[in-house]
Amino acid sequence: MSRSSGSGLQQCPAAGEGRDGILQEQGQRQVFCGLTSIVWLHRKMRDAFFLVVGSRTCAHLLQSAAGVMIFAEPRFATAVLGERDLAGMADCNDELDRIVGELLERRPEIRNLFLVGSCPSEVIKLDLDKAAERLTAAHEGGVRVVHYSGSGLETAFTQGEDQCLTSLAARLPAKTDEAPSLIVLGTLADVVEDQFRRLFDELGIGPVAFLPPRRSDELPPVGPGTRLLLAQPFVGEATRALIRRGAERIEAPYPLGVEGTLQWLRAAAEAFGVEQERVDEVTAAPVARAREALARQGERLRGRRITFLPDSQLELPLARFLAAECGMEPVEVAMPYYDRELHGAEREALGEGVRLVEGQDLEAQLDRLRADRPDLTVCGLGLANPLEAEGLLTKWSIELVFSPIQGFEQAGDLAELFARPLVRRETLRV
């Protein structure tokens, strides 16, 4: 039930509709494909190269998404399919071998090459798994070649990272003992990763590995005794792949905001048999700092109504954080996919009274948005300026994937990302 009473919406879901009271929507989708995740993954893994096998559109997407970064130190490229390639499959494999050869000659420092599948490569059924095996054998000892899909057919935005991590999960060495260890799953900014590492050290939790790693050869062993702590809500496939290899997931909310981070650490501490008093002791100072920073931003956000259009799967935990810790009122929270295992607890924490939507039918959703007229709309860059021009205030969503937002020290920054458009609107006299 929407809090925007009297908006006269026919599509507002009744409680219990769909799974977990979530409306299923189909139609035109305004989301990125999984290839976009290369833009941050290539910065995280410094010895990896991402070669998309696709069309000019894929190359165009990457350079549009990467903006000016493409020339800084590009560790991604596209093998653009031409008409000749579509004619004969055998030629296609030869061509790929030639291009990979050229590429590795140019970039001898690359240790890990990801062959990233795209819509065109999947439609013509180019077997990139086999190509990856063949190329790994051909460049034996030098470079590992792995395939995953970042196509729009299979993945939306952050799911590209999930597919990449799943391809890594298969390659983690098997654990030789059953001693406890921790894998933190999902890309975090380096600064956030370092903060968490210090906290785990102080709590006596370890050994801790972060996946994806900073260097692709720093792959932690996995097996019985390995605990998984999810730092991102979009790593479902990778989680299941690691569970199949004997790892065990620690149930926790995502480390967004003070409470989210605290519960995340508590869950880890409990799994490692660390006293909760010890957690309180270790986190007391950062929690106090974070609450203070948050309080300042919270004033600007309290009572404001917010809608999320689907983008990254961060929508549920972000809405939970903004509602619980900043006093915002979520109106509609839409997500590209709902994964009960990964999002169920966040969905429950959000409570009732929020319209939840899985998938998208763009025009219908925009009609609801215009009827709701929330104070803030979280959406992609294709919609942000047009909605601003309609008088709807927006927060562009990609920034939430590109900024350090997790953990105590970033709780204030995270709230500030949402407060900034409101402050700006109040400041401007143009």
Partner 1 sequence: MELTLWTYEGPPHVGAMRVAASMEGVHYVLHAPQGDTYADLLFTMIERRPSRPPVTYTTFQARHLGRDTAELVRETVAAAYERHRPQALLVGEACTAELLQDQPGSLAANMELPVPVIALESGAYSRKEGFGASEAFYQLVRGLAGPAAEAAGTERAGGEAPRANLLGPTSLGFRCRDDVREVTGLLEALGVTVNVVAPLGATPDDLRRIPEADFNICLYPEVARTACEWLQRHLRQPMVTTVPLGLGATRDFIREVGEVAGIDTAAAAADADARMAWYSRSVDSNYLTGKRAFIFGDATHAVAAARIAHEELGFTVVGLGTYSREHAREVRRAAKAYGVEPLITDDYLEVERRVAEATPELVLGTQMERHIAKRLGLPCAVISAPAHVQDFPARYAPNMGLEGANVIFDTWVHPLMMGLEEHLLGMFKEDSEFSADAPSHLETTAAPAAAGAEEASAAAAEPAAEAPQGAGVQWTADAEAELRKIPFFVRGKARRNTERFAADRGIATITVETIYDAKAHFSR
The reply on whether position 85 binds partner 1 by CB under 8 A is: yes
CA distances from residue 364 to 2, 52, 188, 268 in whole angstroms, order as listed: 16, 33, 34, 41
| 33 annotated to bind ligand | yes
Site for partner 1 in 334-373 (CB under 8 A): 363
Amino acid letter, residue 261: T
Q: Is 408:289 a contact under the CB 8 Å cutoff?
A: yes
Q: Which is nearer to partner 1, 14 or 428 (by Cβ)? A: 428
Q: Which of 9, 12, 23, 103 binds partner 1 (CB under 8 A)?
A: 103
Listed residue (418, 199, 411, 195) closest to 290, CA to CA: 411
Q: Which of 4, 13, 22, 31 binds partner 1 (CB under 8 A)?
A: 31
Task: Please give the size of the binding site for partner 1, defined by CB under 8 A.
Answer: 62
CA-CA distance, 369 to 127, in Å (whole number)? 42
The reply on whether position 25 binds partner 1 by CB under 8 A is: no
Q: Which of 78, 195, 397, 410 binds partner 1 (CB under 8 A)?
A: 78
| 164 annotated to bind ligand | no
Give the CA-trace dihedral at 349, 353, 358, 361, to 10 degrees.
-150
Q: Is 392:379 a contact under the CB 8 Å cutoff?
A: no
Q: Which residues pair with 208 in a beta bridge?
A: 182
Listed residue (363, 304, 300, 299) closest to 3, CA to CA: 304
Q: Least distance to partner 1 from the beta carbon of 120, Å?
A: 5
The reply on whether position 104 binds partner 1 by CB under 8 A is: no
Q: Least distance to partner 1 from the beta carbon of 149, Å?
A: 10
| 326 annotated to bind ligand | no
Q: Least distance to partner 1 from the beta carbon of 389, Å?
A: 3
Q: Least distance to partner 1 from the beta carbon of 62, Å?
A: 9
| Structure letter (DSSP) for residue 52 | E
Q: Per-residue contact track with partner 1, 378 to 397, x per CB under 8 A?
A: --xxxxxxx-xx--------
Q: Is 72:66 a contact under the CB 8 Å cutoff?
A: no
The reply on whether position 307 binds partner 1 by CB under 8 A is: no
Tokens, residue 250: 């620690």
**Residues near partner 1 (CB under 8 A):** 28-36, 53, 55-57, 59-61, 63-65, 67-68, 70-74, 77-83, 85-86, 92, 95-96, 98-99, 102-103, 119-120, 122-124, 151-154, 156, 363, 380-386, 388-389
